[in-house]
Amino acid sequence: MQRRNALITAGSVAAVVLTAATAVGANMGILSSADESPLGTLAATVPVAVTEPEVVDIYLDDAPAPADTTTGFVSQEFAVDAAGTVVLDSTSSTLRLGPVNANDGWTWSSSQTSDTELIVTFVSDSATLELVATLGPDGTVQARVDQPVVVTQQQPGTVAPASATYSDDDHESDDDYEEHEGREDDD
């Protein structure tokens, strides 16, 4: 009987070790192929609405950018899909926001984290677009449009997962509780 238990235990341990080795190998393969690009931020309590990726075009006028001779800033206008247009003024070391024109149904806001980077966010009822502009080392404006993942709040009426709690008061009286030594005759 003990030999049978030993074989079953050894087989179980071997299966667990094999499974663990397979999982480690798969994770190492995934981790070694990942790059350092950020994935975003998520809150564990908020469900995420998954949307299909969408290609968003940025248009830049072919006309030469007018230079403000009094300040040295050069202006460039960017069309951000259906959201509107953004004018960015730049010198070789500074990037600043010019006029913004939001199309009907869109609102906009901006934030500038440094002299060389700014973000203009356009929001409508169904989409959010972010124009992220940076000033390159050679003084050129580099811009891209991101469409962040939309995060929705938990729907009213949904039930949060229950957590089990234990209280010593679950017994009517501690006097009624007897400790047993665990002998074979205890049932």
pLDDT at position 41 is 60
Structure tokens at 48: 């995420």
For residues 133 and 168, give the distance between their C-alpha atoms in angstroms, rounded to a whole number: 60
Question: Do residues 37 and 46 touch, judged by C-beta distance below 8 A?
Answer: no
Q: Are residues 28 and 68 in the same domain?
A: no
Range of the domain at 12: 1-34
Q: Are residues 6 and 68 in the same domain?
A: no
Is 133 within the bounds of a domain?
A: yes
Coil, strand or helix: which one is 12? helix
Q: What are phi and psi of 22, to 5 degrees?
A: -65, -45
Q: Are residues 67 and 109 in the same domain?
A: yes
Is 89 within the bounds of a domain?
A: yes
Mean pLDDT of the chain: 74
pLDDT at position 99 is 92
The residue type of 4 is R
Is 153 within the bounds of a domain?
A: no
Is 40 within the bounds of a domain?
A: no
Question: Do residues 73 and 178 touch, judged by C-beta distance below 8 A?
Answer: no
Considering the entire predicted model, what is its pTM? 0.46
Q: Are residues 80 and 17 in the same domain?
A: no
Element (H, E) at 108: strand 107-114
pLDDT at position 59 is 55
Is 122 within the bounds of a domain?
A: yes
Number of domains into which the chain is organized: 2
Residue scoring higher pLDDT (120 or 156): 120
The residue type of 72 is G
Mean pLDDT of 154-179: 50
List, for residues 27-59, the tens digit of each pLDDT value.
Answer: 887 777 767 666 666 555 555 555 666 555 555
pLDDT at position 166 is 45
